Copies of this chain bind each other. A is one copy, B any other.
Amino acid sequence: MINFINDYNAGAAPEILDALVKINSQEFAPYGEDSLCDEARELIKFELERNDVDIHFMEGGTQANMTVISSALRSHEGVIATVSGHIATHETGAIESTGHKVITVPHHNGKMKIADIEEALAFHDDEHKVKPRMIYISQSTEWGSIYTKAELAEIYEFAQGHNLFLYVDGARLGAALTSKAADFTMADMAKYADAFTIGGTKNGIFIGEAVVITNPLLKTEFRYAIKQKGALMAKGWLLGVQFKELFRDGLFYRLAEYANNQSEKIKETLADIGVEMKSDSPTNQLFPIFPMSFIMELSQNFGFQIIEKVGDDQAVIRFVTSWATGDVAVSALIATLAKYRR
């Protein structure tokens, strides 16, 4: 089976493994207060071009989302997300389990529009409805798309003007930043968000997400929130060493760019054969629509997800590439796709 099923089905990039092996015999302070975490924080701050942020390393994306959101909100406040947002659909009600409503709005190619936020605010206008207090978006989105710098700025400014925090789920931030369509930098992310994550798990490390907090209101006592959610890792330096290696000399970007490039090749083939795409994605997730018969054929040799049915006999499927997706795998998929005839 040649896998295009996700970007977390392989261990860690060799550089990450090496870094881990190298420090294994050393002792460190526990709970993320060690020298490796500190060095990783400094490297990320350098990327962000600012020092006035707090950075915490956590184990997973759902964990990071629920910790950031529940720490930020008062009991009666809610968070706005698109109906396709990860917190709205694929986290088993983790946000609700902390007591907060996820207010859903429509998505447009995976993205949120100001008009939708405005409509949500207009409805939630008194104490009989939850108080919207945070906007949650993903960069890249669950449909592979990315917000442009202008769009990020617009949402952030709207949020600022309406007493809303903007939190960006960057589980696939590497793919977003290294997309050919990207017009923003890592520093822009910090500029246009109250908090955001830098995903490691889906970009070449064993495990780990970095939570970056720019808004002072969200910084206070965040370590209490981490601990309460069962997320304060005893051997925190194991996260630190990986993020240090990711940002020491650009590995984070190289791995993500590689993944995007592998998708790009597949995307070109899909364009050549004229397949309809459910979503216009410039990153490492592709969403072609195929007849079920061809999907069955594909599934003989390739691993991928069937996302949703389209009519009676077609479906959207998803191909995902990662730092670990080899050229042989991509060539094999391309060769099979090329044989497709509508």
Contact = CB atoms under 8 A, between A and B. Distances in A.
Contacts of A232: 60, 62, 127-128
Contact of A228 (B25, B60, B93): B93
A162 to B, nearest CB: 15
Assembly of this chain: how many copies?
4
Contacts of A299: none
A228 B11 contact: no
Contacts of A102: 101
Interface of A: 3, 6, 8-12, 14, 17, 20-21, 23-30, 59-60, 62-67, 70-71, 74-76, 78, 89-94, 96-102, 104, 123, 127-131, 201-202, 206-207, 221, 223-235, 238, 324
Contact of A92 (B17, B129, B235, B238): B129
A27 B24 CA distance: 23
Contacts of A127: 92, 221, 223-224, 226-227, 232
Contacts of A63: 230-231
A253 B98 CA distance: 38
30 contacts: A6-B30, A9-B28, A11-B26, A11-B238, A12-B24, A17-B21, A59-B59, A62-B227, A62-B230, A71-B75, A75-B97, A75-B225, A76-B92, A76-B97, A76-B225, A76-B227, A90-B129, A92-B129, A94-B229, A94-B230, A96-B96, A97-B99, A97-B100, A97-B229, A99-B99, A127-B223, A130-B224, A207-B235, A229-B229, A230-B231
